[in-house]
Amino acid sequence: MKIGMGISYTGDPKAAGDRAADLESAGVDMLWVAELYSFDAVSILGYLAARTERVELASGILPLYSRSPALIGMTAAGLDAVSGGRFVLGLGASGPQVIEGWHGVPYTKPLAATRDVIEICRKVWRREVVEHHGEVYELPLPPDQGTGLGKPLKIINHPVREDIPIYIASLGPKNVQMTAEIADGWLPTIFHPDKAREVWGPDLDAGFARRDDALGPMDVAVGSTVAICDEHTAQKLKDQLRPGLALYVGGMGARNRNFYNNTFKKYGYEKEAAEIQDLFLSGKKEEAAAAIPQDYLDAVAIVGDEGRVRDRIQAYKEAGVTQLRISPAGDDKLGLVEKVKAWAE
């Protein structure tokens, strides 16, 4: 199992570069840069490419609708070139709050858009003349939608690789099935290692049944807090997860269209999921956070004494996780990274 870590997208880029170099020395395999309504991830990733030599660099994630499909392909090829073939393209549909509120673009047909973007990107990297007639994107634009002067083109440069890895952030059943069918990696959220097979197995199997063997096995990258500490500190770290979980389970999407809430119900927390959503949407965010089940926190947080930490790492391994995206806590974070790296291997 590989180790990944996030790099801050809100702070000083030079400090992020120093941090990246230290984490590379500590043995981290992949560094992730998020993109919300912040500095763009591409600028930071290009800078990190110049500050590192070995570690893979990933967008975590680029929202589909913020760039044209061809630009996503061009950008990925550019980052792969400046990093010497170390870039991983993390993609996701994001949500209407960001896509429509920040980018001013309609949030429509996310599944079809994801498939179209991936197909176009792979054509770009293979230096094919890009002609695509998908459900969302059509290249070139037909005459009745433009001037009629557009023509199919291929990228001028020769990409370093024609098979840049693509990881998809997906959660809904159909999206997870598509991820298992066409992606190189999967980025699930609110992942429960002890119940993963029960909840995700059928959708993953349905996608794998349609998967091209040439893609090889699919990576699974999951995040978790990690700390070697006493029980009191471990509980404090678990409690720090509550507000973010309450936001996702309670407030992401409409009441009847929240994939995080639906996933929580699949884990067996039907009553708790409804309560968290009711509290959060009523403005009672602290109460919603307090309603996150303790046994869920116990399962997902990799915190406690060394035995407990190693047990939880093993649980993630057995759940099919191939990359643990850790958020280390404590005074010696780099030392902790080195320990977790050794245990994960």
- Rounded CA-CA distance 163/37 in Å is 29
In a domain, 331, yes or no: yes
In a domain, 336, yes or no: yes
Crossing angle for the helix pair 41-51 and 13-26, to the nearest 10 degrees: 50
Counting residues of the chain whose pLDDT is more than 70, the rounded percentage is 100
Question: Mean pLDDT over residues 283-311, rounded?
Answer: 98
Three-state secondary structure call for residue 330: coil
Tell me the residue type at 234.
A
pLDDT of residue 121: 98
In a domain, 87, yes or no: yes
- Rounded CA-CA distance 180/209 in Å is 9
CATH of the domain at 124: 3.20.20.30
The model's pTM: 0.96
- Number of structural domains the chain divides into: 1
Which tokens is 285 given? 């965010």
Segment 18-33, tens digit of pLDDT: 999 999 999 999 999 9
| pLDDT > 80? residue 77 | yes
Give the model's confidence band at 106: pLDDT under 50 very low, under 70 low, under 90 confident, else very high: very high
Give the model's confidence band at 57: pLDDT under 50 very low, under 70 low, under 90 confident, else very high: very high
Per the structure, the complete domain to which residue 320 belongs is given by 2-226+305-344
In a domain, 200, yes or no: yes
Give the model's confidence band at 253: pLDDT under 50 very low, under 70 low, under 90 confident, else very high: confident
| pLDDT > 90? residue 319 | yes
In a domain, 283, yes or no: no
Q: Does the bond joining 120 to the residue before it have cis omega, within 30 degrees of 0?
A: no
In a domain, 237, yes or no: no
| pLDDT > 90? residue 255 | no
**Mean of the per-residue pLDDT values for the chain?**
96
Give the model's confidence band at 170: pLDDT under 50 very low, under 70 low, under 90 confident, else very high: very high
Give the model's confidence band at 220: pLDDT under 50 very low, under 70 low, under 90 confident, else very high: very high
In a domain, 262, yes or no: no
Q: What is the DSSP letter of 190?
A: S
Please provide the distance, in angstroms rounded to a whole number, between the alpha carbons at the two ends of the chain: 6
pLDDT of residue 257: 82
Specify whether the CB–CB gap between 102 and 37 falls below 8 A: yes
In a domain, 184, yes or no: yes
